Chains A and B, each alone.
Chain A
Amino acid sequence: MCVGLPAKILTMKDGMAVVDAHGAKREISAELIEDLEPGDYVMVHAGIAIAKITEEEDD
């Protein structure tokens, strides 16, 4: 139901972010997640960041 794509935040301005997913760049809304900054990875769905991707903690 929900095609999502991991992407890296390149720039941020006024709650909007430009993200890069393997060379595909797009402006998305980043206003629903707190404390995002360039270099972070987010899960993108329908033009908004729905989650910040964190590194796995185990091993």
Chain B
Amino acid sequence: MIDRIMSKRDKQKAEELNEIRSYDGPPVRIMEVCGTHTHEIFKLGVRQILPPQVTLISGPGCPVCVTPVDYIDKAIYLALEKQVTICTFGDLVRVPGSQGSLANARAKGGKIQIVYSPLDAADYAVEHPEEEVVFLSVGFETTTPASCLAAKRAREAGISNFSLLVANKTMPSAYRALKDSVDVYLYPGHVNAIMGTDTCRELVQEGVSGVVAGFTAEDIIHAMATILKRYAQGEPFFENCYEQVVKPDGSPGARKLMERWMEACDTEWRGLGVIPGSGMRLKEEFRDMDAEIKFAVPKMQGSAPTACRCGEVLQGKCLPTECGLFGKACNPLHPVGACMVSGEGACSAYYNYGSR
């Protein structure tokens, strides 16, 4: 089935590439919200085929990039001071905290276990009853259900050595917070796969346009062509260009699970500050699985490097190349800011793919 879709889309792709190249409508700023989009757009070289009046801005949708410094500090504290086993996605391992990264903590003897799925972390806890296991729960609506499932699995297994360090975030308030810097959003398809398209439709009423896009070359080209066609027509619009995955109602099962386990809270986004109601935390009844409470993690004074302009980059106010540290003090091997350390961060994409 997938192969058939591919070949049909191949022909479409060539036509849409031509439409993009020959766009002669008004100037437009498109923000790709999702880090995976940022990564794929750079990897494909999409910017090179865009006419000059089309600007792509890399938004705040990389969970690693918007996770504040003190979160890493807390994880390191748990690994080194409390000797817990940290289970984490590989993405977080090299992110610099105030003093070093989890990779540094591992070198100091901290036990850092890379997992593919939060469920693996729960399984690890079941298999290692003698260890305290903390899963670093970051991510947006796409990833949060997996964390909830892990908590549920641990609860069902009756274990008490598993907890979560929660920094999950939700997108809608970020869309609203950034809407003045943007003309059209390229919505993160996999967030919409969970949440559906209601928010996007509401935003059209507020004058904010957008399309939901998938992640293959065909998906991205199709979405870009659609954006340019609709933008030239002048009316605010929303279109779902990823219908094979994103249903208008998203995944009710996943949302129900999240509502069962987590609730909204205020949270800090690195670079954007505190956005009210944009974070997730475990509900009161599950607080025994909240690592911060369980291990009485003290408040950390996460200090981000001062010359770093990641915050402005995340808001599309500054290009990575305009930051004084870019490519000099800050590069993927020695990242200063989070946008450089994450493979999906804007700075790392600019550096790695040699944006000229």
Chain A binder among B96-104, B238-246, B307-315: B238-246
Contacts of B190 in A (CB 8 A): 1-2, 4, 43, 45, 50-51
The binding surface of chain A is classed by DSSP as loop
B116–A50 CB distance below 8 A: no
Distance in angstroms from A28 CB to nearest chain B CB is 7
Distance in angstroms from B98 CB to nearest chain A CB is 24
- Given A29-B119, A56-B5, residue A2 in contact with residue B140 (CB < 8 A): yes
B146–A47 CB distance below 8 A: yes
B residues in contact (CB < 8 Å) with A: 1-2, 5, 8, 34-36, 61-63, 89, 116-120, 139-140, 142-143, 145-146, 149, 188-191, 193-194, 215, 243-247, 251, 253-254, 257, 344
Question: Could you tell me the distance between the alpha carbons of A56 and B8 in the complex, rounded to whole angstroms?
Answer: 10
Residue of B at shortest CB range from A26? B116
Residue in A1, A6, A47, A57 whose beta carbon sits within 8 Å of that of B142 in the complex: A1
- Given A47-B116, A48-B119, A51-B193, residue A56 in contact with residue B251 (CB < 8 A): no
Given contacts A29-B146, A55-B5, 14 further A-B contacts (CB under 8 A): A1-B34, A1-B61, A1-B143, A3-B36, A4-B190, A4-B215, A32-B251, A32-B257, A45-B146, A47-B117, A50-B145, A53-B245, A54-B243, A55-B244
Of A6, A28, A48, A54, chain B has the most CB atoms within 10 Å of the CB of A48
Quick one: which of A8-59 are within 8 Å of B by CB? 26, 28-29, 31-34, 41, 43, 45-48, 50-51, 53-57, 59
Distance in angstroms from A46 CB to nearest chain B CB is 4
Contacts of B2 in A (CB 8 A): 6, 41, 53
A residues in contact (CB < 8 Å) with B: 1-4, 6, 26, 28-29, 31-34, 41, 43, 45-48, 50-51, 53-57, 59
Residue pairs across A and B with Cβ atoms less than 8 A apart, 13 shown, are A1-B35, A1-B140, A1-B142, A2-B34, A2-B188, A4-B189, A4-B193, A26-B116, A41-B2, A43-B190, A50-B142, A50-B194, A55-B1
